[in-house]
Amino acid sequence: MAEISRKFDVEKLISYSDDLVKLLKDEKDINDLNHCVEKSDALRSRCRSDHAGVQSSLEAITNQIKDLEEQRSSIEERRQVLKKLKQDEAKAQMTLSMYASVTRIIPDLNDKSKISGRILCRVCLLDSNLPSSFCICNSLIRQSQILLTKKRKRLKNSS
């Protein structure tokens, strides 16, 4: 069976080669065939150059995507840092408010060159820029005396 198949293939091959010889006997046919080969080589060359161009464009787009991803992650990190800074600022503001409430001293944050503020008392509001040092000291002494008196009364009541 295999021998019959092989014999048939050889007969086909001989038939094809005979047809090819007949085709190539004419000079015009050879020229046409050479022309087709040249055209196919030119087409193959153009396809390769187009492929190389598409490949380089694809690499450039891939690099741009990577750059954009890096920028996005950098922006996200900055956003997180800004959020953290805002939270820290709010926490500092609340802490400062608590300190001002406890000490009754309100800092002046507008003048960064010096540490200054206002002292609040029950009788009056003292502005550190207006009264003299003597007035401020007197006010502080008065406040401390009031606080000491209250503390003594509490201690007597608790004992």
- Average pLDDT of the chain is 80
Task: Identify the pLDDT of residue 159.
Answer: 64
pLDDT at 95: 86
Contacts of 29 (CB under 8 A, 6+ apart): 23
Q: Is residue 156 part of a domain?
A: yes
Say what the pLDDT of residue 130 is.
Answer: 57
Give the mean model confidence (pLDDT) for residues 81-106.
86
pLDDT of residue 131: 61
Looking at residue 72, its pLDDT comes to 96
- Looking at 58, 73, 88, which one is the last position of a domain? 73
Is the pLDDT confidence value at 154 over 50? yes
pLDDT given at position 132: 64
Q: What is the pLDDT of residues 12-38, one digit of tens each?
A: 888 878 777 776 666 677 788 788 889
Percent over 90 (pLDDT), the chain? 33
One domain for residues 60 and 112: no
Does residue 78 sit within a domain?
A: no
Which residues have C-beta within 8 Å of that of residue 139, sequence separation ≥ 6? 119, 121, 123, 124, 126, 131
**85 neighbors 93 (Cβ within 8 angstroms):** no
- The pLDDT assigned to 133 comes to 66
> In the listed set 27, 50, 73, which residue is the last one of a domain according to the structure?
73
The residue range of the domain holding 61 is 1-73
Count how many domains the chain has: 2
104-110-116 Cα angle (round to 5): 45
* Class of residue 155 by CB neighbours under 10 A (exposed 0-12, middle 13-18, buried 19+): exposed
106 pLDDT higher than 60? yes
pLDDT score for 104: 75
DSSP 8-state assignment for residue 127: E
Sheet containing strand 105-107, edge to edge, reads: 105-107, 117-120, 125-127
> b/e for 121-134, b at 16 or more Cβ within 10 A?
eeeeebeeeeeeee
Residue 129 has pLDDT above 70, yes or no: no
Residue 99 lies in a domain: no
pTM higher than 0.75: no
pLDDT (average), residues 95-108? 78
